């Protein structure tokens, strides 16, 4: 048995207890209290254990007769943990595993840790080493932004991405749903957006969109796995798909042509047009009503042909629509140049610009979400020979994605103003799931550890050894991934 505990992200506290391992057998049973909010989590645990062990695992409600039974994986909510919704404890020994947390979200994190602990023992049996792990995340926002506008990503493929996110304890899937190339979410108030502007992608590739039912399915699928959806409707730029569907959003009154290129900054809304205000109010109201989570993203990036006052007016209008629908506002870093309500999340992506607006925004009560293009944009090439991806932010090898510190990224921004970390993957060159996972893996695991684990817990050499042991898992799932030369991979 390898000595290292190959869990990613690195837990806060790990102790081997010296007991015999827990062995998965036909008698292994998941036991849970009969609460509706816990039953789905128990089914998830049983499914994961069953897939690894090659046999069905039964779920039972807690009974006194089961409290001392052998082969039990017991899920339980407890108060004896540090504060935090996602704090959890895993205790494994011969015959029993206890998964404990303050909340259902914490139990999901415990299950993921258990899944990563399972290893092949003598005779090929699947077992869990005897350990005690107590853990909680550093940041409450640990995300991945997926661009489904440049190339559409079907629901089935997004579910694979959600599964990977959950495996590494990421908890926010930010969907970039609209751009010049396509509008990907049906909204009740503006049906032409998907009827006329969803069929295209970059290079003339096929498009697509999510129905309200598709979106609800994704929200529910993510929720069981501890991943919430943050939808992005990008305004007041990146709007050619909108102006193609609704000509009244143009000064001429005529729809714009479809766009399948990759240039940015040429499209825009107009604050003075009568159609613009109702469009923003209706669309953001619709999207907010479809989204159980507390955040809606208004975009705000790369508006290159608009005066500052008009930009501020449109950002304020979009933000007001989101707040009127009972949600909190997220926007790309450019919104920091406008007046913001306290609690607004500013997503920092371009490290080449003056930090002063972000310092001022933080001082005024905004929160910073760290997505530096040079570290966390996972569509950037690994090196000069990478066939997929872009390289405007440079090459990002695995260690580049791992070796950075969110709290000191923007000089002058207090550490307490940083709400979290989010990777992003843009799909100009990514046409399918193999291309997507090739760029995500292994770097998504690195970003996940940056977001979850405290700086003193992170060590490149240790991570390098742990991530090497993730390769068989990716292979079993049939996923494409990049064999970074910085790692001695286990195959």
Record the tokens describing residue 314, joined without a space. Answer: 């449109």
- Beta-strand ranges (E) seen in 211-315 are 228-235, 295-299
Q: Quote the CA–CA distance of 204 and 196 in Å, as a whole number.
A: 15
Record the tokens describing residue 462, joined without a space. Answer: 């240790």
Token pair 């908890």: residue: 171
The candidate with the shortest Cα–Cα distance to 146, out of 372, 440, 395, is 440
Q: Quote the CA–CA distance of 114 and 97 in Å, as a whole number.
A: 9
The candidate with the shortest Cα–Cα distance to 145, out of 174, 106, 179, is 174
Write down the catalytic residue from 119, 248, 302, 310: 302
β-pairing, 58-61 vs 228-235, is unpaired
The candidate with the shortest Cα–Cα distance to 165, out of 489, 486, 400, 423, is 423
Q: What is the CA radius of gyration of the chain?
A: 23
**What is the DSSP code string of 427-473?**
-SS--SHHHHHHHHTTHHHHHHHHHHS-GGG--HHHHHHHHHTTHHH
302 is catalytic: yes
The candidate with the shortest Cα–Cα distance to 439, out of 485, 489, 480, is 480
Q: Residue 87 contacts by C-beta under 8 Å, 6 or more apart in sequence?
A: 81, 101, 102, 106, 134, 135, 136
The candidate with the shortest Cα–Cα distance to 295, out of 401, 189, 419, 398, is 419
The candidate with the shortest Cα–Cα distance to 398, out of 372, 370, 421, 375, is 375
Return the active site residues.
302
């Amino acid at each position: 048995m390898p000595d290292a505990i190959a869990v990613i992200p690195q837990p806060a506290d790990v102790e081997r207890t010296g007991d015999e391992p827990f062995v998965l057998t036909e008698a292994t049973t998941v036991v849970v209290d009969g609460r509706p909010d816990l039953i789905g989590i128990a089914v998830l645990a049983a499914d994961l254990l069953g897939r690894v062990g090659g046999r069905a695992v039964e779920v039972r409600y807690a009974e006194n007769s089961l409290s001392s039974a052998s082969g039990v994986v017991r899920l339980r909510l407890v108060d004896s943990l540090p504060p935090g919704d996602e704090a959890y404890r895993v205790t494994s020994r011969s015959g029993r595993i206890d998964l404990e947390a303050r909340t259902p979200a914490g139990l999901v994190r415990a299950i993921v840790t258990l899944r990563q602990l399972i290893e092949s023992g003598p005779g090929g049996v699947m077992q869990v080493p005897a350990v005690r792990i107590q853990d909680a995340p550093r940041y409450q926002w640990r995300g991945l932004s997926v661009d489904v506008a440049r190339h559409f990503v079907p629901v089935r493929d997004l579910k694979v991405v959600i599964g990977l996110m959950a495996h590494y304890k990421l908890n926010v899937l930010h969907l970039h749903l609209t751009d010049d190339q396509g509008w990907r979410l049906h909204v009740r108030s503006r049906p032409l957006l998907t009827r006329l502007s969803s069929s295209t992608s970059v290079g003339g590739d096929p498009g697509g969109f999510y129905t309200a039912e598709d979106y609800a399915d994704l929200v529910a699928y993510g929720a069981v796995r501890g991943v919430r959806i943050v939808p992005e409707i990008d305004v007041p730029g990146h709007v050619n798909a909108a102006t193609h569907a609704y000509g009244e959003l143009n000064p001429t009154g005529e729809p714009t042509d479809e766009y399948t290129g990759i240039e940015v900054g040429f499209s825009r809304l107009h604050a003075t047009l009568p159609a613009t205000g109702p469009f923003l109010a209706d669309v953001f109201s619709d999207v907010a009503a479809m989204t159980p989570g507390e955040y809606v993203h208004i975009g705000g990036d790369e508006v290159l042909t608009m005066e500052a006052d008009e930009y501020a007016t449109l950002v304020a209008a979009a933000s007001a629509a989101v707040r009127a629908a009972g949600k909190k506002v997220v926007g790309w870093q450019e919104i920091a140049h406008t007046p913001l309500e306290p609690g607004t999340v500013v997503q920092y992506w371009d490290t080449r610009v003056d930090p002063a607006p972000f310092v001022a925004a933080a001082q005024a009560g905004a929160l910073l979400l760290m997505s530096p293009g040079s570290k966390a944009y996972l569509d950037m090439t690994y090196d000069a020979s990478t066939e997929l991806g872009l390289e405007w932010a440079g090459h990002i090898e695995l260690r580049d994605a791992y070796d950075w510190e969110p709290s000191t990224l923007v000089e002058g921004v207090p550490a307490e103003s940083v709400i979290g970390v989010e990777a992003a993957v843009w799909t100009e060159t990514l046409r399918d799931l193999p291309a997507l996972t090739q760029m995500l893996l292994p770097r998504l695991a690195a970003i996940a550890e940056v977001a979850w684990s405290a700086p003193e817990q992170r060590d490149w050499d240790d991570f390098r050894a742990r991530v090497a042991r993730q390769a068989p898992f990716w292979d079993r799932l049939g996923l494409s991934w990049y064999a970074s030369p910085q790692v001695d991979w286990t195959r």
